Structure formats: C-alpha cells, structure tokens
Structure 1
C-alpha cells in the first residue's frame, strides 16, 4: 500500500503558541463529501472533497460567560444520508449539529440526486444536546447505531446519547478517567482506554437475542492515548505498537521501537491511532512521523514510516469511509491529507479504478467524483476482474461487475446508498451475460441457466433452466 501526500489544507502559523494552533479533531462524513476540522479556538472548518473550504462556524458554549472550554472529540453520523455532526466539549456537554436536508423540501421538478449531493449546503442547527455532570473526554459514533452517540467522561463512565429521546444513559462504569474510545468497523462493539491503564471491550446487545457484554481486555501501568479497533485492536504505547485479538485479548504482534532508527525520528509516546472502515489498515501517530500497518492473511505488516520534519506531535487522524484518504492534524497546526492505494488505473471509458487493497476497490465516475462505489470482497478474496456495463434505458455506463475466485460483485455506481451484491459463483468461463433492465435487480444468463439477484443482496433470488439463453 502507498501513501502519497496530496495537500496541506492548513499550514502552521509562525509565532502562534501550540495551544492556540493545535488541530484538535478531524473527521470525514460518511458520504465522503465533507471533511470537518476543529482547531484550538473551537472553530469548525468544513472542506469539500476537493480540499476547498466551504464553511466555517464557531461551536456553541454550554453556558453563558467566557469561552474557556475545549473540544474533546468530533464525529459525523455513520448514516450517509444523515447530515449530522457530534461534538464533545469540556464544558460538560455533547452537541449534535444538523444540516437542513434539501431533498426533504425540494420542488417536484428538482433532481433528487442533486438535492442529496447538496445536503451540506443547508442551514445548520443544534438538534441534540446531552448535558453531563462531568466533562466528556472522547467520542465515537458506531456504524450500527446511527441514533446513538457514545462518549466517555472524566469520572470514567462510558455513556450513550440517544438522539430520538435526547437523553443519555450509562453503558458501563470504570474507576478512572476515559481517555480514548473506538468502535469496531461493524459497529457492534467498542473499546475504551482509561487513566489507570485499563482497556475495556464492550459488545452491544441485540433485541431479543444477546445481552451486552463487558470485559477488561488489556491493561498496563500507564494510560493509553493511541487506541483503535480494526481487524485487531491496535494499542500505541510508549515506544511500541501492540496488536491484540479482539475476541480474547491475547497479544498477536508487537512492534518495538525502543532502539533508534537512523531513518526515522526517535520514537516517543504514540498519541493517536485510526483504522480505516474495513479494519485492514491502521495509522498510528507519533512525534514528527507516523506509522502505517496493513493486515494480510491475519498478520500485520508495517510500511515504511512517514516522516515530516517539524510536524510535532500528531493530535488527530481519520480515514475517509472508502479508505482512499487519510487526514492528520498536529499540535503545531498542520493539517495534511494523504491518498492511500495499492494501484490506480483508468477504465477504457475513463472511470478511475483505485485498488485500496487487493480485495477493496473504489470506482469513480470521471465526470462526477461524487458518483462512486466501494467494492469489498466479504471473503477477503482478491478482486481479479472489473467490467462496467451500460444502462439499457440511457446507454450510460452505470453498473460495475467484479469477480473474485469464488464470487461475483455487482453495484450501481449512481445509487445514493452503499448497497453491493456479492454472490457465490464458481463458474469461471467468463461467458456470462448481465442484464440490467429492472432497476432493483439484475439477471445473469449463462449456458442455459438464468439467475436473478436483487441489488444489495448477497443471496440468489432464484435460478431457472431454459433453452432460450
């Protein structure tokens, strides 16, 4: 995997003390269209996918009087159609901001696709406020729980703020201050680190089946600031990075940096960690450099460190939902964006095909970068072939079909959702015909057999034998 520096959206300001220049938090929206950045002066900067600043607003204080609070965490809603942003503040409050959705009030003759794409241009308002007795210290928003914002407090509690009821309740209590929190890629659980060196794993319960579970999965003698849950739980400690099994807490791998490397600045305490949405790549921040690890066949491999002179400590990191970009902010006010990929190519009609990993491909429409689709093999098999088919009604290339050794993946590039079908398919002749006449399904015709598949489903609806194929 490669990391190429794309741009520096914010440059360090000369003569400004670090406590006034620090990039506090940064995160990408779930639809990949927006990047939100919070600076030390409690101002939120909004950037579009081209890296251009399109909005700016000052966070609201919980109480009247001088603004002495700081922002402790920030996350977008995991729902791509929900334009919401949660911000945790040290003045004992978590605010959720909402942008007016233009598609909810669009005119009859207005194009819905354009309205969805312009949802961030609407008016901002605070839709939820969670008042707490102590200061929030960290925040996450699990993908499986779009109506629950999870945050930790100085008193050690991990709480869930329900957007529908506008009330919060305690998920579990710890004996010391919560420092870092991270949800797993599936959104079914989270981990939190605390000031006494303990790391807790919490698995959400499901209605009518399983109860929530809590366990101490790791502990050490010092607090852990660098924590992220991908395919393994990544813990950045003092001069080492540890990967542990999320199911039982056993140490899988340890990367030790206590001995000095001439090609890299001296390793200090790791300050931040962030996994991509699929959990197979994690970046860990340090002083004047950061390190990146990728998971292949259950084993983590380290890439060469990325060194940036005078960058200072990395204070925030976040991956784009499609895994194609990494943003990082530092204590001196630097904000950089890096492109992440294995390889890139252009399809014959100009579509950009980016292999983020061998089983993880991003396809973008050339004339509209907001029209894109992320394909990932559920079985983590290598994607070997990609073809893009035309819509019979408009004659516009729209449907992408990809193959692995044992499956076929299909998706509609122009759809606003993230639905991707992956069905088991053993035939490797390559003579199949794909028919996309119906908007909600597609047909595969192959040697006397017709197979019907619903878009977004991983199961075959039906198959029939016929002589007319």
Structure 2
C-alpha cells in the first residue's frame, strides 16, 4: 500500500485546534470532520466542502464550551451520524441523503460518564466506550442502551473486524478485550485477549492479527489469541514520537499508524504470514496526528492533526488504464476499484474471503469483470453493479467465458459447463457437455413473471449433436431429454422457460411474447399461438431482413420448427 498526497481539506492553524474525529460514510459519498469548535464539516468524495452543522451540549445552560466531541460514526445507510460527547451523551443526527437537507436530532442516549469512542457496525446498533470502563450498545430503534461488558479501566480505543461482527476495546491499563456479535464460525474466544505494555490508544483489527501502538514507540502485532507475532521497535529513533491513532483498511490487509509528522504503513504479506512495513509517509510541520479515517472502498485515507489540519491521501498498490475506458486501481490484495472514466461510476470488486486477487480482466464487450484468486472466481456486471464470488479450483486459466446472457455467465472448462448468476455467490449449476457454442445453450432466469411461480430458472443444452437436455436449475433436477433425427445447430427456451424452440437455422422468439417468426423461400411465417404449431400465418415477402426479430433471413432456404410445452408433456 502506497500513500500519495492529494490535497489539503483544512489548513493547519498556528496553535492547537485539534481535529477530534473524522468518519467516511459507508456509501463513499460523504466525509465528516469534527473540529475543536464542535462543528461537523461535510465533504463530498472529491474533498469539496458541501455542508456543515453545529453540535449541541447535553444542556443548553452549560454553554457551547462545556463539552468536546470525542468520536463520531455514520450509520450503515449513510443518512445519520452518531456523535459521542464528553458531557455524557450520544446524539444521533439525521443528515438526510442530499446536501443541504435539514439536520435533526433523532436519538439521544444519556450516559453516566463521558463517551470516549464509538462505532456503528450494524443497522440499529451503536457500540461505544465510556470513561468508567463500560462497553455499551445503543439501539436507535428502541432508543434504549444496554451494557455489553464492563471493566475497571477507561476505554481509550475501539475497533471492529472487517465484517463488523466483532469488536475489540483498548483500556487505559493496557488490556484489550474482544467481543463477538457473531464469530462467523471462527471459534475464537471472547473476553480479555491481551495486556499491552502501555495504553493502546492506537488500536486496529487487521485481517489476520490485531495491531497495537502507544506511548512506548512500538507497534506490536498480536495473533488471534493474543500472542505476540511481531514487534516494530522505534524507541531508539529520536525523531519518532508516541503513536496516537491507528486505522485498518476496509479489507484489513493494511494498517496505518499516526504519530508526529509521520504515517507508518504496514501491509500483510499472506505468502509469508507476516506484516511488512512500507516506506513511512513523512510530512514536516504536520504535527501530531489525532485522527485517521479510511474510505470504505479503500481508495482514500484522511489524516487530522493537532493544529486543525486535514490531509487527503490516495491509497493504492498499483493502477492501470484499460483501453482508455476504465481505471483499475488495486487498493489492497483482495480489493480492486474499477472506474468508468467517461461516466465516473465505480465498481468495488472484493474477495470476501480475503484471497489475493490476480489480474482483473474486462470482457464481454467491456461490460463484465473477471478475476481469479487462489480458491475463488470473481465475476461482475459493470452496468448493474452485480458481483459474485464463487468457489473455483485452479484450472490453469483454460476456461472459456461467454457473456451473451445478461443475467448469467457461462463458463466452459474441461468439458463442463458452469453457470454463475450475477450477484449470487454460489454456482447456479454445472453440466457435462462438449458443445461450447452459446447458441446451443439457453438459460432463462426469472425473465417474465408468471402467476404462482417465484423462482423460475431453466437450462437447455446439448448432450450430443441430436439430443437436448432440459434442467430445472432452481430445483436442481432434470426435466427431461429430447431426441431429434438431424443435427441441431440452434436452440432457445422462451422467457418463461416453458417452451423450447430448436432447428437447424437460427431464429428468435419475439421479445415479450411467445410468437415465433421464420421464413421459407418466399414467405414470412408467423406462429402467433405456438401451442398450435399447425396454425401458421404466411406473408409473401421479397426482403431479406426480419424487422420483428432482427434476424438475417437471406440464408434461409427452408425451416424446421419444433416446439415442446415443458411441464405439460412427458419428455
């Protein structure tokens, strides 16, 4: 991971004016900064100032100078901001979806001591720490708070794992405590995890370990069970100061620590199972870094300072340009951003298992994404932003991909056809076939609504050159087979998957209906009721193009049409 300076969002002052906290919205559109004057400044994704609002004390009679905003977090839907204050309260502000929307307080959670730090990992649940040592949960739906666990030491830091289903808290006595809302089958323990040698003000939960820093000028990586894995000791470096804050990248593969005039970057090396330190980012007169915030897509990092400055950095491992159409940015080993240069739209391709993504390819008329990891295959539709990651064993890159169908990707490998529905993380179905032409395969996935049918997914393909098989993909069973007396060179199911049309010349269903159009030597043949194939309407023609189905008809000298009503006849 490399940090490249982009711009200054707030200019530093000549005196202490601490940036107390910062946060990126999960939708990557808004960025919030809270300054020492207790005003929340809102920026867009490009770092342009767009809006602001003032926070309030727990009681107006104490005045606006009576408290400090210690931490804040966006809601998962990016429409609210939770503000944790030193005057024993959390306010939740509804900021709306658009710039300039009215800011209203929609929740208040009064506490028995100051709120020191907070997270908002789930829809209605705000997790926060108190000076008295408690970790509590605020439910925005019921407007009630409850204690998750209690300690005897001030909470100085909070961090969550990549999924947001686990949290760790750092305490003034050096202890780090772990808690899971859902351990996701890991079997990892809860409770006190480790005791650091100093208060863990700089605390981050990476993908494979927990990183801790503090006033002893050391960064220590701990295993999932609290054992020391690595120590980076800077205590003899006179230019280094204490570590004040840390943040993990959204993928958990990089962690940045802030100190005085310096950002230290650590990257996880999966092949060696260790953290590697990158070249530190040193900026003179930056002074002590008091807050760090990483954009949820991994592409930007912001640093706030003791003197009120906010700096914006670009984060990437490498960046490539594809056909002057797309910018492909590798923001982590397992996360890639693909940006359309003409429209500015972006797709974040991420391995949710944390596997390293190999080269990303843009295929299918530059609309679809494909990438391999060691154990999975990633696919995506740039137009609909539907992404999939399915288990996939190594095949040496010999697969053939077909993207003719907008809802499903067809993959041929070693005589096997696999189907992956975009937005699904499981293989839809696999069959054996030697016929790789997509015109000899027809897949229909819920393309036309039918009364009483919720999940309608059908596949028709060739077993051999004269035999068609039909499969119900939703149920995972064969509907039957059809044998023909001559070579089949084209087939297609209708949109409901109830009828099958096949022949030795190419033709099409009329979109949105079960009407079939074909041609013989001098006539256009139309079957308005395909359930009665003997009833055909014929029109004499002299053209060689069908305006209904947009097929080239000049090559057709004869036609053979067979239709089968699936489900109403025994196949």
Q: TM-score range by the shorter chain?
A: 0.7 to 0.9
Alignment correspondent of 2:294: 319
1:239 aligns with 2:217: yes
Kindly state the Cα deviation for residue 306 of structure 1 after the two structures are TM-superposed: 1.4
2: distance between equivalents of 1:175 and 1:453?
52
Alignment correspondent of 1:60: 56
1:123 aligns with 2:63: no
Aligned length: 430
Alignment correspondent of 1:110: none
Residues 370 and 136 of structure 1: is their aligned pair in 2 closer, same or farther, counting only changes over 3 Å? Answer: farther
The match for 2:372 among 377, 399, 403 is 403
Alignment correspondent of 1:366: 341
The match for 1:204 among 181, 187, 192 is 181
Alignment correspondent of 2:319: 344
Alignment correspondent of 1:307: 282
Residues 58 and 376 of structure 1: is their aligned pair in 2 closer, same or farther, counting only changes over 3 Å? Answer: same
Kindly state the Cα deviation for residue 448 of structure 1 after the two structures are TM-superposed: 4.9
Residues 435 and 293 of structure 1: is their aligned pair in 2 closer, same or farther, counting only changes over 3 Å? Answer: same
Contact 2:376 2:391 in 1 (8 A): yes
Kindly state the Cα deviation for residue 334 of structure 1 after the two structures are TM-superposed: 1.3
2: distance between equivalents of 1:367 and 1:120?
24
The match for 2:400 among 425, 432, 442 is 432
Q: How is 1:218-233 mapped onto 2 (pairs within 5 angstroms)?
A: 218-220=194-196, 222-231=198-207, 232-233=209-210
Contact 1:92 1:132 in 2 (8 A): yes
Aligned partner of residue 420 in structure 1, secondary structure: strand
Kindly state the Cα deviation for residue 252 of structure 1 after the two structures are TM-superposed: 0.6
Aligned partner of residue 160 in structure 1, secondary structure: strand
2: distance between equivalents of 1:239 and 1:371?
39
1: distance between equivalents of 2:359 and 2:188?
40
Residues 284 and 6 of structure 1: is their aligned pair in 2 closer, same or farther, counting only changes over 3 Å? Answer: same
Alignment correspondent of 1:70: 68
Alignment correspondent of 1:106: none
Q: How is 1:382-401 mapped onto 2 (pairs within 5 angstroms)?
A: 382-390=357-365, 397-401=366-370
1: distance between equivalents of 2:375 and 2:136?
43
2: distance between equivalents of 1:274 and 1:55?
25
Kindly state the Cα deviation for residue 13 of structure 1 after the two structures are TM-superposed: 2.3
| CA deviation string 1:311-349 (max 9, x = no partner) | 111000011112111110000111111111111111114
The match for 2:143 among 149, 166, 178 is 166
Residues 187 and 406 of structure 1: is their aligned pair in 2 closer, same or farther, counting only changes over 3 Å? Answer: closer
1: distance between equivalents of 2:68 and 2:385?
36
Kindly state the Cα deviation for residue 212 of structure 1 after the two structures are TM-superposed: 11
Contact 1:443 1:453 in 2 (8 A): yes
Contact 1:360 1:383 in 2 (8 A): no
Q: Give the aligned CA root-mean-square deviation in angstroms.
A: 2.4
Alignment correspondent of 1:109: none
| CA deviation string 1:269-301 (max 9, x = no partner) | 210010011111000011121211001022001
1: distance between equivalents of 2:199 and 2:47?
35
The match for 2:37 among 38, 41, 62 is 41
Kindly state the Cα deviation for residue 61 of structure 1 after the two structures are TM-superposed: 2.3
Alignment correspondent of 2:268: 295
Alignment correspondent of 1:420: 388
The match for 1:252 among 208, 212, 229 is 229
Contact 1:384 1:405 in 2 (8 A): no
Q: How is 1:167-186 mapped onto 2 (pairs within 5 angstroms)?
A: 167-186=144-163
1: distance between equivalents of 2:405 and 2:144?
47
Contact 1:386 1:403 in 2 (8 A): no
Kindly state the Cα deviation for residue 244 of structure 1 after the two structures are TM-superposed: 0.4
Residues 166 and 148 of structure 1: is their aligned pair in 2 closer, same or farther, counting only changes over 3 Å? Answer: same
Kindly state the Cα deviation for residue 447 of structure 1 after the two structures are TM-superposed: 6.0
Kindly state the Cα deviation for residue 132 of structure 1 after the two structures are TM-superposed: 1.1
Contact 2:302 2:312 in 1 (8 A): yes
More relative contact order in 1 or in 2 (CA 8 Å, sep 6+)?
1
Aligned partner of residue 46 in structure 2, secondary structure: coil
Contact 1:373 1:412 in 2 (8 A): no
1: distance between equivalents of 2:197 and 2:401?
61
Q: Which protein has the larger Cα radius of gyration, Structure 1 or Structure 2?
A: 2
2: distance between equivalents of 1:384 and 1:370?
21
Gaps of 5+ in 1: 102-118, 391-396
Alignment correspondent of 1:97: 93
Aligned partner of residue 235 in structure 1, secondary structure: strand
The match for 1:32 among 28, 53, 62 is 28
Residues 126 and 436 of structure 1: is their aligned pair in 2 closer, same or farther, counting only changes over 3 Å? Answer: farther
Aligned partner of residue 242 in structure 1, secondary structure: strand
Contact 2:298 2:332 in 1 (8 A): no
Aligned partner of residue 249 in structure 1, secondary structure: coil
Kindly state the Cα deviation for residue 411 of structure 1 after the two structures are TM-superposed: 1.8
Aligned partner of residue 384 in structure 1, secondary structure: coil
Kindly state the Cα deviation for residue 211 of structure 1 after the two structures are TM-superposed: 11
Aligned partner of residue 277 in structure 1, secondary structure: coil
Contact 1:227 1:236 in 2 (8 A): yes
Contact 2:23 2:74 in 1 (8 A): yes
Alignment correspondent of 1:278: 251
Question: Which stretch has the larger CA shift, 198-207 or 295-304?
Answer: 198-207
Residues 30 and 460 of structure 1: is their aligned pair in 2 closer, same or farther, counting only changes over 3 Å? Answer: same
